[in-house]
Structure 1
């Protein structure tokens, strides 16, 4: 039975972090990210790796004027305003557009063989937060699909939910809006209900990158049942390199071991991360990624492992 390496990237720049960090404190971080994305694409092409770039629709705009032109007709009215990208944007005394808009990189990934332009919603929509209504979520997905189609001629078919917040209502709307494939969460208890975060869950997620604390990370390739959405569970988050950490190589070795187990058993291994995770220590992070992709090359030659984007399932 054929095994698969699947990679999905949450491509968001500051749209995915506006409620957590101050933009002006991370300008160099995003500048590095803009340089890292082409390097990742070059590496993917070299190793024949297909990937899904789940891209925030807002990032596809050229500037603020165009972003506002593509904004949804219905905006979320979150109970906590800090979760609204629109409220955040309007409250900023100064905006650094290079940390928010990168259509040139979207064009590069579309032109790179085997890369799929997916969706991470239009404005990093939180489906499980109070005030993220069904009507607003539908409008958000329509806006994401519109900008991808009108600017890049792309039909978005694969979706990754921001902060991995998933519920049945959001899945139903995603299907109705034309999505075929979504990334879902692992079945381990510390990955379920990601809106209810706590220290214990975070500790278990971190610990599981070093030693096995949960279920097996690979799985049999799922089959689509009629017109239903196809769910592809995440296997592992590729955590970024940390200076001085004794566990950098241990985390990479664990990923390689899990990949080999998937290759031997004919299963899917789904790796994911954010491109901006490479914003600090980009050279070290790229070396870690190449170590993983070299391992994929060995598994391809030895066990016939293939690379598939989410949409290719």
Structure 2
């Protein structure tokens, strides 16, 4: 066992339907979105029970009762959507259960184990995609920070929508200190066609590949903490991988971090667990129970992204 304790951190892309509004497939996930408030409540209970200080990366528009007026912002020139702000759900009315969660910050902050509220953008704009200029990034990040400050939160952590990283220096200008980097797998970081990545991800899951450990690294004055493992749900094709593969992989990754003193960074979207909440929350609890064993032995520490950046 390494003399230095490893670190377990978890980041949550907290977005409800905002992550899919530009992909025109909201109905596919509607059942999961409606279950997400209860999933969030159960996650808070689990994080309290196992003393896990998670980082909740929030799409700030969840907190705003949107009236459709974004006249102070310019639309990015994305090839897959004609008018970003013209397509926002608030411009044509919205089902508030899918898009609006003003209770979210209070619920996160009510946890007994301190949780971190970070950012996942204002409208889930892909900041690294072609067509997103520095001005678009400045407006997207600035609007998100302003919204959270209205709730008394000064965000220090950022998760890039769809892990599409760009304009990192803009984070620093808005007081952001740390962000989640691309997963530390060659097929996530290599310049290979996007169509090739899904089967590689499936294969990695199917063979129960050991997730890598990572280390924080500074980029453009902001700390990057790469992802280690996505906690896969029991739907969307992942149910066809061998039973318990995500749990087995997480256990391997935790053992690796405890042995080497590295960082194991687990992440997922809360709505991912909304298709089969009981089953998937039980699977996640099995991972957290392993974390608790390593913490009790002094082999792991649990930290939020913010605390890792500050060296706590």
- Same fold? TM cut 0.5: yes
Q: How does 1:137-152 map to 2 (within 5 A)?
A: 137-150=137-150, 152=151
Find the partner of 1:46 among 45, 49, 67: 49
Moved more, 171-180 or 37-46: 171-180
TM-score normalised by structure 2 residue count:
0.88
Aligned CA distance change for structure 1 residues 77 and 267 (closer, same or farther; 3 Å): closer
Aligned to 2:199: 203
Aligned to 1:111: 110
Q: How does 1:144-223 map to 2 (within 5 A)?
A: 144-150=144-150, 152-167=151-166, 170-192=167-189, 197-211=193-207, 217-220=212-215, 222=216
Aligned to 1:240: 233
| Superposed structure 1 runs of 4+ greater than 6 Å apart | none
Is the contact made by 2:50 and 2:288 (CA closer than 8 Å) also made in structure 1?
Answer: yes
Deviation, structure 1 residue 250: 2.1
* 1:312 alignment partner, SS class: helix
RMSD: 2.5
Aligned CA distance change for structure 1 residues 224 and 200 (closer, same or farther; 3 Å): closer
Q: Which runs of 5+ in 1 are unaligned?
A: none
The alignment covers a number of residue pairs equal to 302
Aligned CA distance change for structure 1 residues 90 and 275 (closer, same or farther; 3 Å): closer
Does 1:96 find its partner at 2:99?
A: no
Does 1:59 find its partner at 2:62?
A: yes
Deviation, structure 1 residue 223: 6.5
Find the aligned partners of 1:25 and 1:244 in 2 and give their Cα distance: 16
* 2:74 alignment partner, SS class: coil
Is the contact made by 2:184 and 2:227 (CA closer than 8 Å) also made in structure 1?
Answer: no
Is the contact made by 1:175 and 1:229 (CA closer than 8 Å) also made in structure 2?
Answer: yes
Q: Deviations over 1:197-227 (max 9, x none)?
A: 522211112222233769x61134x3769x9
TM-score normalised by structure 1 residue count:
0.88
* 2:72 alignment partner, SS class: coil
